[in-house]
């Protein structure tokens, strides 16, 4: 078993209920090999933490950027709480070293590990909420997740809607989206495109732009909104 006191020291969070801290790192697969563990897996904590994370990020953006429209704030939030970003934050915090996984899951890397790490940080936030309350969650999220906002804005990570739509479509439906040109017009130097994004032949949304890439990006962003996929969960 890992020494979770090291993590408490590193993050300057002292859990009153150490079982909540432990449970945040327990993957469902670990219990198959360790049925006597005194706590359950972390999926319910993840469910709670996901909601707390979204609330804290939303309130922070709402208060800090009063001049920004809802659409822009929504894309910023999506870039902060998607699987890729949360897994990066988890790795920076060293969560990889504390995961409790089955032997099979321990060997899994790449996308599978990304999902586990992202889910674990949400479960950890859920644990903090139950143990220390909302203000401790705010402190943790502002320090470790919202600290990535300048990079999100500077690198325009929020504008990569196509990647996020593909990730969501594969996660939720198992289908890889396709894009088709619906309309194009105008002279070569000022062309306009309307492109639709499709899941198995069914159009989800369309987007318009001065290039195919721009129209696809817009279609993906509209698709995320249409499907309600603008958050990680």
Do residues 106 and 22 share a domain? yes
CATH number for the domain spanning 200: value is 3.30.160.20
For residues 86 and 175, state if they share a domain.
no
What confidence tens digit (pLDDT) does each residue in 176-205 have?
Answer: 999 999 999 988 877 889 999 999 999 999
For residue 233, the model assigns a pLDDT of 43
Structure tokens at 208: 């318009």
Per the DSSP assignment, residues forming a β-bridge with 195 are 181, 207
Q: Are strands 178-185 and 192-199 parallel, antiparallel or unpaired?
A: antiparallel
Look up 122 and say whether it is catalytic: yes
Residue 213 counted as domain residue: yes
**pLDDT (0 to 100) of residue 104:** 79
Same domain, 62 and 35: yes
Take residue 62 and report the two structure tokens written for it.
């709402």
Residues 206 and 222 occupy one common structural domain:
yes
Query: What is the H or E stretch that residue 156 is in?
Result: none
Domain boundary (159, 175, 193) is at 159
232, part of any domain = no
Active-site choice (14, 19, 36, 50):
50
Name the active-site residue from 46, 105, 122, 131: 122
Residues 179 and 110 occupy one common structural domain = no
Is the residue at 121 inside a domain? yes
Instruction: Output phi, psi for 204, to 5 deg.
Output: -95, -40
Q: Is 233 within a domain? A: no
Nearest to 56 by CA among 10, 122, 7, 4: 122
Task: Give, as one character, the DSSP assignment of residue 42.
Answer: S
By residue range, what is the domain housing residue 187? 161-227
CATH number for the domain spanning 54: value is 1.10.1520.10
Inside any domain, residue 39: yes
Residue 103 is predicted with a pLDDT of: 82
Q: How far apart are CA 113 and CA 160, in angstroms?
A: 21
Same domain, 155 and 168: no
**Is the same domain home to 138 and 190?**
no
Q: Give yes or no: residues 16 and 95 share one domain.
A: yes
Whether residue 50 lies in the annotated active site:
yes
**Judgement on whether residues 152 and 165 belong to the same structural domain of the protein:** no
Joined tokens for residue 135:
């203000």
Give yes or no: residues 126 and 197 share one domain.
no
Among the candidates 140, 159, 178, a domain finishes at: 159
Statement to judge: residues 105 and 187 lie in one domain: no
Domain identity same for 170 and 220: yes
Domain count, the chain: 2
Low-confidence ranges of the chain (pLDDT < 70): 1, 110-111, 159, 230-233
């Amino acid at each position: 078993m890992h020494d979770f006191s090291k993590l408490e020291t590193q993050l300057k969070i002292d859990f009153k209920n150490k079982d909540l801290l432990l449970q945040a790192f327990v993957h469902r697969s670990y219990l198959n090999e360790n049925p006597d563990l005194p706590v359950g897996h972390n999926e319910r904590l993840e469910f709670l933490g996901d909601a707390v994370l979204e609330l804290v990020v939303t309130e922070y953006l709402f208060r800090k950027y009063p001049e920004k429209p809802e659409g822009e704030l929504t894309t910023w939030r999506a870039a902060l709480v998607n699987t890729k970003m949360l897994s990066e934050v988890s790795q920076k915090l060293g969560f990889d070293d504390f995961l409790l996984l089955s032997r099979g899951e321990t060997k899994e890397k790449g996308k599978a590990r990304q999902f586990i790490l992202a889910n674990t940080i949400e479960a950890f936030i859920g644990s903090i909420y139950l143990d220390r309350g909302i203000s401790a969650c705010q402190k943790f999220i502002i320090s470790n997740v919202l600290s990535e906002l300048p990079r999100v804005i500077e690198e325009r990570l929020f504008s990569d809607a196509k990647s996020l739509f593909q990730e969501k479509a594969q996660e939720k439906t198992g289908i890889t989206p396709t894009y088709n040109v619906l309309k194009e017009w105008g002279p070569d130097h000022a062309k306009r495109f309307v492109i639709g994004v499709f899941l198995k032949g069914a159009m989800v949304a369309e987007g318009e732009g001065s290039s195919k890439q721009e129209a696809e990006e817009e279609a993906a962003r509209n698709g995320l909104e249409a499907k309600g996929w603008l958050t990680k969960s």
